[in-house]
C-alpha cells in the first residue's frame, strides 16, 4: 500500500542561468563566481559587441563599445581570467556567440586543457546561429554560405572531440524581438535547423548523423501571451519530432527530442512603471515550465530593470530567486503534463503548427533558409510594424505604457546606484592589457598559426583545429576576424525596409499633410537619413522609424547597421539630408555621438538636426542635448506618429545653411 505521507517523486529542475558579462574578464569572473555561490547551476556568457563581430578592443569600430553589453575577450589571457577558479569540466556553459563561435570555442577548449580538463567531458553550448543574425541581431561577419560552413565545421569538430557539447543553439529568441508571430518564429527557426542539418550531412559519417541531430538545441523566447507561448512550445516539440522522423529518417525518439533553453521576453520590459516587469517575467517563465512535455532544459530571466540600464547583482539575484521558488517551493515538478488532452490547447497547437508548416513550405520552395533570408527579413519588419501599430492605437494593452499610466513614484528606481553603470575605465584597462599581450607573445608563432587558418579557410578544411592552434599561439579576436574576412568576404544584410510605401495608411493622414506642407516649402521631399553607428545590430527600432517615415511621405536613406560616424556624416552630405535619425541600444551613445556631432560641424552640417533613440538615462540625454542633439527618444516614446510630427517641426524651423 502506498504511504499517503510519502513525498511525491519530483522531476529534476531545469538549469538556472543568468545571462551575464560586462566591463572586463576580471569583473565578469567575480560576477560568475558570486552567482554560482547563490545556487545558479549553469553559466551563460554575454560577450561585448567587438568580440561578437570579430574586432579587437582597440579597433576604430570598437570605440565606446568595449565591455558595454558583455565581456570583452581578445585573446587566451582574457579567457583564462574569465574562468579563473571555475572548473570547466564541472560546468554547463552557454556562450551566446555566433559569427566568432569557432574562435570563442577554440579559446574555451584551450583554457580547459590548461586546467587539465578532459575535453571530451566538456558540457555546454555555443549559439552559433548566423541566419538569425541576418534577420534580427546583426552580429554577422561573412556572407551566408561561408557562415553556414563554419557552423557545421563546429558541429563536425564537436562530434569527434566534444561529444557532450551542443554545437548550435538555433535561436528564435531574437526573431520574436524583431516582431515575429508565433508561426513565423516556429517556421524560421525550424528552417534554420534544416539548413544546418542539410549542410552537416556531408561532414559526418552517416552512422553518426542521428547523434548529431540529437545535439542540435534551440534557444527560444517566451512572451507575455503565455497560453499561446506554451502552445508554441508544444508545437515546437511536435514539429521537430516530425521533421527529424520524416525529413531525416531519425528512428530513435531520444534524438528527435526538442531540447531548448529560454530567455524570456526582454522586448516587452517597460521603462514606465518598471516594477511591473517582475510580474511579466514570472508569467513568461510559466509558459516554458508548466507543460512537462514542452518544459525547457535551461532558463535565464532578465532583470526587472533592463529597460533602464545595466542590472545590478541584486537585480540578477532577484530573477534567480524567482526560478528557485518556482522549482523548489511549488509542486510543479511533481506532476505529469497538465495540458494533455485539453481541447483548447490542442486546437491552438494545431493552428500554430499548420501556420508554421505553410511558412516552411514557402521557404523550401525558395531553396531553404539561406536563400530566403531577404524574404524572412521583410516578413519580420512587416509583423513588427503591426505589433507597434497595435500598441499605438491601444488595441494591444501594455499596462503602465498605454493604459493605467497614473502611478506612484517607485522607490526601486530612486536614489544613487539605482542602476549600475559600466566602469568608465574598463575600456582603457582592456586596451592596455591587449597591448601588453601583443608585445609579450611569439609573433612568428602567431603569424604561422594565422597562415594555417587562412589556408584551411581557402582549402575547405575544418577551421576548428587551426583556430585552436591560433588561440594557443596568442592570436587575437581581431586577427581571427580579419583572417575570415579576408578569406570569405564581408556582408551587409538586407534591411527589410522597401523604398516603396506600404499599404498601411490608417491614422497617417495628419502626418502626411504636415510632411507634404514642409516638403512644398523645401521645394523637394523631406529627406531623412536613418543610421546605426557603432557595432549595435539591434536594428528593429531603426527599421520601424524608417518604414513609418517612408509611409508618411518622407524620402528615406537607410543602409542598415554598423556604420562609422564618418560614414553617416558622408551620407548626410551626399544625400543632402534635412534631418538625421540615429539608433544606439548598446549604451555607447555618448562617445559615438560626441564624434559624430564634431564631424557634422567640421563638414559644415551643423544646421542639420540630429535625433537619437536608445536606452538612454536622463543624465545622458542632458549631455547629448548639450552636444547639439535636437531630440532624444527612449523606449517610453512608442508613438511613432508623434515622432514623425516632431521631425517635421524640426525641419520646418531649421535655418538653411549659408551658400
Q: What is the mean pLDDT of residues 326-349?
A: 96
CA-to-CA dists, residue 457 to 30, 472, 501, angstroms? 37, 19, 42
Q: State the pLDDT at residue 421.
A: 63
Binning pLDDT at 50, 70 and 90, where does residue 426 land? confident
36 or 242, higher pLDDT: 242
Q: State the pLDDT at residue 306.
A: 84
Q: State the pLDDT at residue 14.
A: 87
The count of other CB atoms within 10 Å of the CB of residue 426 is 21
Reduced to 3 states (helix: H, G, I; strand: E, B; else coil), residue 581 is strand
**Are the C-beta atoms of 183 and 352 separated by less than 8 Å?**
yes
Q: State the pLDDT at residue 658.
A: 40
Binning pLDDT at 50, 70 and 90, where does residue 506 land? confident
Contacts of 208 (CB under 8 A, 6+ apart): 159
DSSP string across 192-235 = HHHHHHHHHTTTS-GGGHHHHHHH-EEEEEE-S-HHHHHHHHHH
pLDDT at 659 over 50: no
pLDDT at 655 over 90: no
Q: Exactly one of 22, 532, 578, 589 is catalytic; which is it?
A: 532
Q: What is the mean pLDDT of residues 463-471?
A: 98
pLDDT at 21 over 90: no
Percent of the chain at pLDDT > 90 equals 76
Lowest mean pLDDT among 221-230, 591-600, 650-659: 650-659
Of 134, 2, 132, 24, the closest CA to residue 72 belongs to 24
Lowest mean pLDDT among 52-61, 159-168, 465-474, 558-567: 558-567
Q: What is the pTM of this model?
A: 0.88
Q: How far is CA 139 from its chain centroid?
A: 8
Edge to edge, the sheet with strand 123-126 lists 19-20, 43-46, 92-96, 123-126, 165-166
pLDDT at 4 over 50: no
Mean pLDDT, rounded, of the chain = 92
- Is 589 part of the annotated catalytic residue set? no
412 or 522, higher pLDDT: 522
Binning pLDDT at 50, 70 and 90, where does residue 462 land? very high
Alpha-helical (H) ranges within 460-588 are: 464-473, 477-488, 509-522, 540-551, 565-575
Q: Exactly one of 48, 199, 452, 536 is catalytic; which is it?
A: 536
* CA dihedral (551, 557, 559, 560) positive or negative: negative
pLDDT at 2 over 50: no
- Is 19 part of the annotated catalytic residue set? yes
- Is 607 part of the annotated catalytic residue set? no
Q: What is the mean pLDDT of residues 107-126?
A: 96
Binning pLDDT at 50, 70 and 90, where does residue 158 land? very high
pLDDT tens-digit series, residues 175-202 = 998 989 999 999 999 999 999 999 999 8
Q: What is the mean pLDDT of residues 599-607?
A: 96
Q: What is the mean pLDDT of residues 375-387?
A: 92
Q: What is the mean pLDDT of residues 120-140?
A: 93
Q: Exactly one of 63, 174, 348, 589 is catalytic; which is it?
A: 174
Lowest mean pLDDT among 126-130, 416-420, 486-490, 651-655: 416-420
Q: Exactly one of 538, 551, 589, 633 is catalytic; which is it?
A: 538
Q: Exactly one of 32, 140, 173, 260 is catalytic; which is it?
A: 173
pLDDT at 528 over 90: yes
Q: What is the mean pLDDT of residues 80-87?
A: 95
pLDDT tens-digit series, residues 485-502 = 999 998 888 888 877 787
Q: Exactly one of 19, 140, 491, 558 is catalytic; which is it?
A: 19
| CA–CA dist 439, 536 (Å, integer) | 30
Binning pLDDT at 50, 70 and 90, where does residue 464 land? very high
Q: What is the mean pLDDT of residues 398-422?
A: 81
The C-alpha cell 518544459 sits at 295
Q: State the pLDDT at residue 1.
A: 45
| CA–CA dist 545, 580 (Å, integer) | 11
pLDDT at 508 over 50: yes
- For residue 318 the three cell numbers come to 532577484
Q: What is the mean pLDDT of residues 205-225?
A: 94
| CA–CA dist 42, 263 (Å, integer) | 13
| CA–CA dist 437, 560 (Å, integer) | 34
| CA–CA dist 381, 526 (Å, integer) | 23
Q: State the pLDDT at residue 360.
A: 97
pLDDT tens-digit series, residues 513-526 = 999 999 999 999 99
pLDDT at 18 over 80: no
- Is 472 part of the annotated catalytic residue set? no
Amino acid at each position: 500500500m502506498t504511504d499517503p505521507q510519502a513525498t511525491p517523486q519530483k522531476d529534476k529542475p531545469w538549469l538556472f542561468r543568468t545571462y551575464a558579462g560586462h566591463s572586463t574578464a576580471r569583473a565578469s569572473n567575480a560576477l560568475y563566481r558570486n552567482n554560482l555561490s547563490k545556487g545558479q547551476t549553469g553559466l551563460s556568457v554575454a560577450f561585448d559587441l567587438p568580440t561578437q563581430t570579430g574586432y579587437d578592443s582597440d579597433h576604430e569600430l570598437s570605440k565606446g563599445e568595449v565591455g558595454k553589453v558583455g565581456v570583452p575577450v581578445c585573446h587566451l589571457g582574457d579567457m583564462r581570467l574569465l574562468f579563473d577558479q571555475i572548473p570547466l569540466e564541472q560546468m554547463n556553459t552557454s556562450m551566446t556567440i555566433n559569427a566568432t563561435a569557432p574562435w570563442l570555442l577554440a579559446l574555451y577548449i584551450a583554457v580547459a586543457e590548461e586546467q587539465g580538463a578532459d575535453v571530451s567531458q566538456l558540457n555546454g553550448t555555443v549559439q552559433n546561429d548566423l541566419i538569425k543574425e541576418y534577420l534580427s541581431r546583426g552580429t554577422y561577419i561573412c556572407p551566408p554560405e561561408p557562415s553556414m560552413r563554419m557552423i557545421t565545421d563546429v558541429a563536425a569538430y564537436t562530434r569527434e572531440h566534444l561529444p557532450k557539447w551542443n554545437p548550435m543553439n538555433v535561436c528564435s529568441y531574437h526573431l520574436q524581438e524583431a516582431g515575429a508571430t508565433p508561426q513565423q518564429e516556429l517556421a524560421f527557426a525550424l528552417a534554420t535547423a534544416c539548413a544546418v542539418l542539410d549542410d552537416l550531412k556531408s561532414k559526418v559519417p552517416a552512422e553518426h548523423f542521428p547523434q548529431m541531430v540529437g545535439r542540435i538545441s534551440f534557444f527560444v523566447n517566451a512572451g507575455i501571451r503565455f497560453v499561446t507561448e506554451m502552445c508554441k512550445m508544444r508545437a515546437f516539440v511536435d514539429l521537430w519530432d516530425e521533421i527529424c522522423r520524416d525529413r531525416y529518417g531519425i528512428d530513435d525518439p531520444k534524438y528527435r527530442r526538442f531540447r531548448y533553453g529560454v530567455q524570456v521576453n526582454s522586448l516587452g520590459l517597460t521603462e514606465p512603471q518598471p516594477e511591473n516587469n517582475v510580474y511579466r517575467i514570472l508569467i513568461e517563465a510559466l509558459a516554458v515550465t508548466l507543460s512537462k512535455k514542452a518544459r525547457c532544459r535551461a532558463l535565464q530571466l532578465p532583470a526587472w530593470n533592463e529597460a533602464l540600464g545595466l542590472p545590478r547583482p541584486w537585480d540578477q539575484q532577484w530573477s534567480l530567486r524567482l526560478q528557485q521558488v518556482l522549482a523548489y517551493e511549488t509542486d510543479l515538478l511533481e506532476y505529469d503534463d497538465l495540458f494533455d488532452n485539453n481541447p483548447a490547447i490542442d486546437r491552438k497547437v494545431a493552428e500554430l503548427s499548420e501556420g508554421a508548416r505553410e511558412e516552411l513550405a514557402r521557404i523550401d520552395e525558395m531553396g531553404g533558409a539561406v536563400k530566403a533570408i531577404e524574404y524572412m527579413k521583410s516578413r519580420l519588419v512587416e509583423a513588427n510594424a503591426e505589433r507597434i501599430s497595435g500598441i499605438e492605437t491601444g488595441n494591444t494593452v501594455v499596462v503602465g505604457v498605454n493604459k493605467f499610466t497614473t502611478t506612484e513614484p517607485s522607490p526601486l528606481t530612486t536614489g544613487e546606484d539605482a542602476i549600475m553603470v559600466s566602469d568608465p575605465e574598463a575600456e582603457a584597462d582592456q586596451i592596455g592589457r591587449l597591448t601588453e599581450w601583443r608585445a609579450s607573445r611569439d609573433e612568428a608563432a602567431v603569424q604561422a598559426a594565422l597562415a594555417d587558418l587562412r589556408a584551411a579557410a581557402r582549402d575547405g578544411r575544418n577551421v576548428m583545429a587551426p583556430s585552436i592552434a591560433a588561440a594557443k599561439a596568442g592570436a587575437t579576436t581581431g586577427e581571427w576576424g580579419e583572417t575570415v574576412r579576408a578569406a570569405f568576404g564581408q556582408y551587409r544584410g538586407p534591411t527589410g525596409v522597401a523604398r516603396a510605401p506600404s499599404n498601411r495608411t490608417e491614422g497617417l493622414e495628419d502626418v502626411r499633410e504636415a510632411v507634404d506642407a514642409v516638403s512644398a516649402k523645401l521645394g523637394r521631399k523631406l529627406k531623412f537619413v536613418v543610421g546605426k553607428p557603432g557595432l549595435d545590430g539591434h536594428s528593429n527600432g531603426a527599421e520601424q522609424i524608417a518604414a513609418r517615415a517612408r509611409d508618411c511621405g518622407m524620402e528615406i536613406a537607410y543602409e542598415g547597421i554598423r556604420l562609422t560616424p564618418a560614414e553617416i556624416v558622408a551620407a548626410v552630405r551626399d544625400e543632402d539630408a534635412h534631418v538625421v535619425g540615429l539608433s544606439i541600444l548598446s549604451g555607447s551613445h555618448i562617445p559615438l555621438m560626441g564624434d559624430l556631432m564634431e564631424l557634422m560641424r567640421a563638414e559644415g552640417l551643423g544646421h542639420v538636426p540630429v535625433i537619437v533613440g536608445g536606452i538612454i538615462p536622463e543624465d545622458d540625454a542632458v549631455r547629448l542635448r548639450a552636444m547639439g542633439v535636437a531630440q532624444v527618444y527612449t523606449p517610453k516614446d512608442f508613438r511613432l506618429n508623434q515622432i514623425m510630427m516632431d521631425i517635421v517641426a524640426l525641419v520646418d524651423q531649421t535655418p538653411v545653411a549659408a551658400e
